[in-house]
Chain A
Amino acid sequence: MNQPLRRLATVVIVMFVALMAGATWVQFAQAKDLNADPRNARTLYREFGNARGPIVVQGKAVAESVKVDDPFQYQRRYSDGELYSAVTGFYSIVNGSTELEYAENDNLTGRSDQLFFTRVRDLLTGRQPEGAAVETTLNRAAQKAAFEGLGDQEGAVVAIEPATGRILALVSTPGYDPNDLASHSSKKASSAYARLRDEDGNPLRSNATRETYPPGSTFKLVTAAAALESGEYDETSEIPAPVRLDLPQSTASIGNFGGGGCGANPITLAQALRVSCNTAFAQLGMDLGDDALREQAQRFGFDDADLTIPMGTATSHFPADANAPQTAQSAIGQFDVAATPLQMAMVSAAIANGGRLMTPYVVDRVRAADLSVVSETKPSLLSTAVSPGTASALKEMMLGVVESGTGTAAKISGVQVAGKTGTAQNAEGQAPHAWFTAFAPADKPQVAVAVIVEHGGSAGNEATGGRVAAPIARAVIEAVLNK
């Protein structure tokens, strides 16, 4: 009976080898897929059970995980939740996560590939793994100035450091308190989500990055840039500026804001920008053609579907195919032209930086729990929007806007501010959006900013970009410049 016993012993070994292979399949080969399965609540528990890294603004955590006595062990807390909601987003067991909480999840949980060695060390030393800290580029004072400037009005502010692309302020109003959504009580969290989802102004959606608006007259910067880049115009070139411009191929016509003239006819390019002359820019747009406008817009970042900061952004848009009257409308930022406030800040930032558009970003550094720097964002060139000559000509023209044009409300004593207003028609019967985009100081720009106040905010139909949006931009610039 010994021979069959030996064979049986072999069979037993084969059975156990099969078990070991099965265990290896589950715990090694398939582990990643199993851990990623949405039904795997364990992944959630582990994520919530570990200390998630904080989101930091100038050395102070605005989102952090606090030890609590419940099955998840850590509760996400947001100090100044509403102020930073467009940046941090929220992190919730019930509602998922958004914005930085979503985009930087791998770093915040400590799971990213860059943190591999930290994980191995935690494993070997038995240390409780901790997520990495995400340090933002935000400037607390600028963020506050923007938030307070917008107040109860719906809108957004984006401020960028032109030389680097660092985002200094990113505010969307109405904001929301992420603490409500991060509650571990699924009833509380769901009802908070439902309430915010149905609220006017869609607080959960960031107006600054995920909403596009007609840019109105602020887009004249792009049209002017296209004109200067074509080589056929300079700031003294004269353009026809009638009170009303009849559009070809249609019965439509374009008038100026308030229905009057632009002070002269023809008018210089600089003068047209200073007073924001619609008829002149509409004519200029038709003369340049939609292709030239589109190309210029794209060099400023329009139609770039891949822009992440690292949160995703809505794509700003210039119409793909426009006839002459549509081109005339597009040249003054109407028709189907759509831009995020971030995009308009990028236009100013590019002009401020001698035409070089830097990639905007909000994550400065990622720091592991042991304070070692895991990654650091290096400023990078996104595109060359205009030549240095064009940039400097545009700057001079924008200085005129603030000095004695539509944007005088942005004046700061002792600082040269270059800006452009916009008052964008949107839906029929709705008050226009008030825009302002600017940078300062003109000789050595430190901040470029874009402001939108939806439907003119509290000023309603009386609102213009110069009156409603420019003071907010001024406050943000002052905050950055420490005035």
Chain B
Amino acid sequence: MTTIEPHRVRAGRGSELGLLLLALMVGIGAYALVGLGVEGEVPADVVGYSTGLTALALLMHVVLRWRAPYADPVILPLTVGLNGVGLAMIYRLDLAYAAKPNHDSGFAGRQLAWTAISVALAAAVLILLRDHRTLRRYTYTAMVVGLGLVALPLVPGIGQQINGARIWAHIGPIGMQPAEFAKIALAVFFAGYLVTHRDTLALAGSKVLGLQLPRARDLGPIIIVWAASLAVLVFERDLGTSLLLFGMFVAMLYLATERLSWVVIGLLLFVGGAALAATAFSHVGARFEAWLHAFDPDVYGRSPGGSGQLVQGLFGMAGGGLFGTGLGQGRPDMVPYAESDFIVASLGEELGLTGLMALLMISLVLAERGLRTAIGVRDGFGKLLAGGLAFVVAFQTFVVVGGVTRLIPLTGLTTPFLAYGGSSLLANWVIVALLLRISNDARRPAPVVSALTPAGGIPVPAPQDDPTERFGRVR
């Protein structure tokens, strides 16, 4: 053994480029079809639009080639695909809104601008953050930032109550939903905290009903996060963010400790808290009422807090049926907030159940690639961070789409990548950038491993450097 050769790994950048072109075709095709469907002609700016979208996608691709050559080749195309379809739908709604007097329009232009900013930010993250483990150093900074962001809408003068929920913060002319960024900061904090304390938290306490409970003294952190979530629910009237942050924490707690008891305790705490809040606070109760008795004429007609929007969304989806009305041929604009909270209903109406299934599959694969990254990466912090971020994207999709399809009570979250909203888009692109960064580490061949390749023979897999981490090997 005289030479040390790195084991040859397919980085997958070529596949990524191919998939990117496919994703761009879907997004640009949808944009053109919207024009055809609504106005009978391809939008005049289709060339400029295609060029812009393609440039953004290629920018990310080039950055990946340069700074993260082993990153997962599927994540970026999936994201570009979702973002493109979302843009086309928002453009379609814009055309409908423009025809209405006194209705705000111009969402598509703003969303495109936000996409550009988001991609730039994601590229910056990839360029500046050479190793995700750096983030672990900022565990407690992240906590402060995360909690600060969550609390920001409550600050007088900055926070603003819109449609009953206090989830907006306005700093100067720029409005944002800080909770979207809080979930990243809190994911970093949870990952850093849990990777340090996992052993303590996993210590066994008493056993009840066959379930190994943690020690009572270790309940502190979960109680704190629970209280924070309930505070969000009660003071900001935001069931969605509350559920999202708490769900992410419980999932990461489970990842760190491998104890099912944490999940059970978490679920019980949340259900108990939510039930308490539902009886104590009318606005939370109204959400449940609108969910359970959506078609009740009283509940339907009530405003605010009724089920009108939900039921209109259901009507839209039902109108789309199996194959949809086709882009530009339905009436998604009849649902309030069709471009943001209810973009799923809009997509369901015009693309049908078939199209919606495809979009859900894309989201699912995106989340699963994130989880795959978590399995692949070797360090505990990376595993927790990637697992938590991937889960939060999936969970957010579940909470929104579940709300719109009346699977669970409706909350005010936005569908990742599809819905209109700068904060959501920025935050989710940063998540994607982090997942790409971590996946680069996960898929990079182990630095000092030799391939024992007999002359003319079949390559022998390199010896496992750590048997406990064998699942972490790159395929």
Q: In the complex, which residues of chain B have a beta carbon less than 8 angstroms from the beta carbon of A41?
A: 334
* Complex-state Cα separation, A377 to B314, whole angstroms: 39
* Complex-state Cα separation, A26 to B326, whole angstroms: 18
Given contacts A20-B357, A42-B315, contact A1 B352 (CB under 8 A): no
* Complex-state Cα separation, A305 to B21, whole angstroms: 66
Task: Please give me the residue from chain A that is nearest to B469 by CB atom.
Answer: A2
How far, in Å, is B405 (CB) from chain A's closest CB? 4
* Complex-state Cα separation, A49 to B330, whole angstroms: 10
Q: Return the contact of B321 from the options A28, A43, A49 (Cβ within 8 A).
A: A28
A5 touches B394 (CB 8 A): no
Q: Return the contact of B318 from the options A5, A15, A35 (Cβ within 8 A).
A: A35
B353 touches A22 (CB 8 A): no
At the interface, yes or no: A66 with Cβ under 8 Å from chain B? Answer: no
Q: Could you show 21 A-B contacts with beta carbons less than 8 Å apart?
A: A2-B375, A4-B254, A5-B374, A8-B387, A9-B368, A12-B394, A13-B364, A16-B360, A16-B363, A19-B405, A20-B360, A22-B401, A23-B356, A25-B405, A26-B348, A27-B321, A27-B322, A27-B348, A30-B318, A34-B315, A37-B315
How far, in Å, is A124 (CB) from chain B's closest CB? 9
Which secondary structure characterizes the binding site on chain B? Answer: helix
At the interface, yes or no: B319 with Cβ under 8 Å from chain A? Answer: yes
How far, in Å, is A178 (CB) from chain B's closest CB? 26
Instruction: Identify the 8 closest CB pairs spanning chains A and B, nearest first.
Output: A34-B318, A22-B405, A22-B407, A27-B353, A31-B318, A16-B364, A15-B398, A2-B471
Q: Return the contact of A1 from the options B295, B317, B380, B390 (Cβ within 8 A).
A: B380
At the interface, yes or no: A194 with Cβ under 8 Å from chain B? Answer: no
B401 touches A23 (CB 8 A): yes
> 13 other contacts beyond A1-B384, A12-B371, with CB at 8 A cut-off?
A2-B472, A5-B374, A8-B251, A8-B255, A19-B407, A24-B353, A25-B405, A26-B317, A27-B321, A34-B314, A39-B315, A42-B319, A71-B99
B319 touches A5 (CB 8 A): no
At the interface, yes or no: B146 with Cβ under 8 Å from chain A? Answer: no
B353 touches A23 (CB 8 A): yes
At the interface, yes or no: A40 with Cβ under 8 Å from chain B? Answer: yes
* Complex-state Cα separation, A202 to B416, whole angstroms: 59
A16 touches B311 (CB 8 A): no
A16 touches B326 (CB 8 A): no
Contact with B along A163-177 (1 / 0, CB 8 A): 000000000000000
* Complex-state Cα separation, A46 to B295, whole angstroms: 21
B371 touches A1 (CB 8 A): no
At the interface, yes or no: B383 with Cβ under 8 Å from chain A? Answer: yes
How many A residues touch the partner, as a band? 35 or more
Q: In the complex, which residues of chain B have a beta carbon less than 8 angstroms from the beta carbon of A2?
A: 375, 383, 471-472
Contact with B along A36-61 (1 / 0, CB 8 A): 01011111011001000000000000
Contacts of A200-248 to chain B: CB distance below 8 A: none
At the interface, yes or no: A18 with Cβ under 8 Å from chain B? Answer: yes
Q: In the complex, which residues of chain A have a beta carbon less than 8 angstroms from the beta carbon of B397?
A: 16, 19
Most B-side CB within 10 Å, residue of A1, A15, A28, A43: A1
* Complex-state Cα separation, A1 to B469, whole angstroms: 9
A26 touches B256 (CB 8 A): no
* Complex-state Cα separation, A28 to B324, whole angstroms: 11
Contact with A along B245-259 (1 / 0, CB 8 A): 000000100111010
* Complex-state Cα separation, A454 to B260, whole angstroms: 85
* Complex-state Cα separation, A3 to B390, whole angstroms: 16
How far, in Å, is A46 (CB) from chain B's closest CB? 7
* Complex-state Cα separation, A12 to B394, whole angstroms: 7
Contacts of B188-236 to chain A: CB distance below 8 A: none
Most B-side CB within 10 Å, residue of A6, A12, A46, A123: A12
Q: In the complex, which residues of chain B have a beta carbon less than 8 angstroms from the beta carbon of A27?
A: 317-318, 320-322, 348, 352-353, 356
* Complex-state Cα separation, A71 to B406, whole angstroms: 29
How far, in Å, is B150 (CB) from chain A's closest CB? 24
Given contacts A8-B251, A28-B322, A31-B321, contact A19 B401 (CB under 8 A): yes
Q: In the complex, which residues of chain B have a beta carbon less than 8 angstroms from the beta carbon of A33?
A: 318
At the interface, yes or no: B323 with Cβ under 8 Å from chain A? Answer: yes
Q: In the complex, which residues of chain B have a beta carbon less than 8 angstroms from the beta carbon of A9?
A: 368, 371-372
Q: In the complex, which residues of chain B have a beta carbon less than 8 angstroms from the beta carbon of A258?
A: none
* Complex-state Cα separation, A169 to B160, whole angstroms: 68
At the interface, yes or no: A126 with Cβ under 8 Å from chain B? Answer: yes
B319 touches A43 (CB 8 A): yes
Q: In the complex, which residues of chain A have a beta carbon less than 8 angstroms from the beta carbon of B140?
A: none
* Complex-state Cα separation, A264 to B352, whole angstroms: 81
At the interface, yes or no: B367 with Cβ under 8 Å from chain A? Answer: yes
A1 touches B319 (CB 8 A): no
* Complex-state Cα separation, A45 to B349, whole angstroms: 14
A23 touches B357 (CB 8 A): yes
* Complex-state Cα separation, A317 to B100, whole angstroms: 54
Task: Please give me the residue from chain B that is nearest to A45 by CB atom.
Answer: B331
Q: Return the contact of A39 from the options B300, B323, B380 (Cβ within 8 A).
A: B300
At the interface, yes or no: B31 with Cβ under 8 Å from chain A? Answer: no
At the interface, yes or no: B402 with Cβ under 8 Å from chain A? Answer: yes
* Complex-state Cα separation, A379 to B336, whole angstroms: 52
A3 touches B318 (CB 8 A): no
A23 touches B317 (CB 8 A): yes
Given contacts A23-B356, A42-B331, contact A16 B398 (CB under 8 A): yes
* Complex-state Cα separation, A28 to B357, whole angstroms: 12
Q: Return the contact of A5 from the options B295, B300, B375 (Cβ within 8 A).
A: B375
Q: In the complex, which residues of chain A have a beta carbon less than 8 angstroms from the beta carbon of B77?
A: none
* Complex-state Cα separation, A42 to B333, whole angstroms: 10
How far, in Å, is A101 (CB) from chain B's closest CB? 22
How far, in Å, is B162 (CB) from chain A's closest CB? 26
At the interface, yes or no: B391 with Cβ under 8 Å from chain A? Answer: yes
Task: Please give me the residue from chain B that is nearest to A9 by CB atom.
Answer: B371
Q: In the complex, which residues of chain B have a beta carbon less than 8 angstroms from the beta carbon of A42?
A: 315-316, 319, 331, 334
* Complex-state Cα separation, A40 to B311, whole angstroms: 9
Q: In the complex, which residues of chain B have a beta carbon less than 8 angstroms from the beta carbon of A12?
A: 364, 367-368, 371, 390-391, 394
Q: In the complex, which residues of chain A have a beta carbon less than 8 angstroms from the beta carbon of B374?
A: 1, 5
* Complex-state Cα separation, A19 to B363, whole angstroms: 11
How far, in Å, is B285 (CB) from chain A's closest CB? 23
